[in-house]
Chains A and B, each alone.
Chain A
Amino acid sequence: MALLTLLAAVTVAIVRQRSLFGVVVLAGIYSFLMATLLIALDAVDVAMTEASVGAGISTVLLLATLHLTKTTEMSPINRNWLPLLVVLIVGAAVVWGTLSLPPFGVADSVVHQHVAPRYLAQSIVETGVPNVVTSVLADYRSYDTLGETTVIFTAGIGVLLLLRGLRRRDDIGGGGES
């Protein structure tokens, strides 16, 4: 519960911070907090991935982008209250919608009744892997993982195509220096 509150506090800081470098550092802190929270929620595999991908790779990518662009954010010319209003209304509606969901942590809620008990009971017999997350990821739902790698492959091609001409154009002196 304290971790959740801390996450909210860091998010407020991210919204208010104008220096993009500060925002990136805060985003790293946010990811580490999220990873700690995931450990507390028993999602150890997810926590490991979040710590390495969210706090590691994302931060490196963001810092590289800041190196190639600017590091301060312009303050908005006109203060517009409409986005805040819309966000508050939508948030209130969604919170109202969650009130009828089962409370946190009870064992007899609907999500625990279907599919998951079968995985917990049968996966050790069918796959021989004690870590259920691994056996579901690699055996029962491996088409998901195939799709995931396809997405990463496509994104990698996209990044390469977008950035391919960057250095060449810089050498000619056509642009890029700004």
Chain B
Amino acid sequence: MQLVKTFAEHYNYVITIFLMMAGLYIVVARGNMVKKLIGLSIFQTSVYLLYITPGKIIGGTAPILDPAFTVYSNPLPHVLILTAIVVGVATLALGLALVVRINECYGTIEEDEIFAKDDDQ
């Protein structure tokens, strides 16, 4: 019973880490470069959850000050993650530009085929 309670109270962390590990698995195990970048962005979004879920207070409201409310969720993680999202899309754009450039040179975006072509030369 205690175990179930602990699991339910930490369910947000369990899913966060599941997403994190799924992203890591895609980056490590998949050879396609577009897929790798999507895995990287899944890893990134899991970090958003890692920051924002501890900031939530049950019964609290969004941190926009109003006399009608007294309990607000923590605004600081929101600010940090707001910055992280925008930086994330910038790195994604740069990575995709590199993929397009690699495709132009090698004619493929599969890691195995690129290694094979490098070995031939």
- Which A residues have a C-beta under 8 Å from some C-beta of B? 1, 4-5, 7-8, 11-12, 14-15, 20, 23-24, 27, 30-31, 34, 37-38, 41-46, 49-50, 53-54, 57-58, 61-62, 64-66, 68-70, 73-74, 76-77, 80, 83-84, 86-88, 90-91, 94-95, 98-99, 101-107, 109, 111-112, 115-116, 119-120, 123-124, 130-133, 136-137, 141, 144-145, 148, 151-152, 154-156, 158-159, 162-163, 166, 169, 175-176, 178
How many residue pairs, one in A and one in B, have C-beta atoms under 8 Å apart?
A: 272
Q: Which residues of B contact A109 (CB under 8 A)?
A: 54
Contact of A111 among B10, B26, B38, B55 (CB under 8 A): B55
Pairwise interchain contact A86-B73, C-beta atoms closer than 8 A? no
Pairwise interchain contact A73-B90, C-beta atoms closer than 8 A? no
**Minimum Cβ distance to chain B for residue A53 (Å):** 5
CA distance A100 to B18 in the complex (A): 18
Q: Which 9 pairs across A and B sit closest by C-beta, in order of nearness?
A: A103-B9, A105-B58, A155-B90, A42-B73, A178-B107, A83-B29, A91-B21, A98-B13, A132-B63
CA distance A27 to B32 in the complex (A): 16
**Minimum Cβ distance to chain A for residue B36 (Å):** 10
Pairwise interchain contact A98-B10, C-beta atoms closer than 8 A? yes
**Minimum Cβ distance to chain B for residue A3 (Å):** 9
Interface size class of B (residues with CB under 8 A): 35 or more
Q: Which residues of B contact A15 (CB under 8 A)?
A: 22, 25-26
Q: Which residues of A contact B99 (CB under 8 A)?
A: 65, 69
Q: Is the interface of A mostly helix, strand, loop or mixed?
A: helix
Q: Is the interface of B mostly helix, strand, loop or mixed?
A: helix
**Minimum Cβ distance to chain A for residue B75 (Å):** 4
Q: Which residues of B contact A131 (CB under 8 A)?
A: 63-65
Pairwise interchain contact B57-A112, C-beta atoms closer than 8 A? yes
Q: Which residues of A contact B18 (CB under 8 A)?
A: 8, 11, 91
Most buried by B among A69, A88, A131, A133: A69
Pairwise interchain contact B75-A120, C-beta atoms closer than 8 A? yes
- Pairs A–B under 8 Å by Cβ, sample size 12: A11-B19, A14-B38, A15-B26, A42-B60, A50-B48, A69-B34, A99-B10, A105-B58, A130-B64, A145-B83, A155-B91, A156-B93
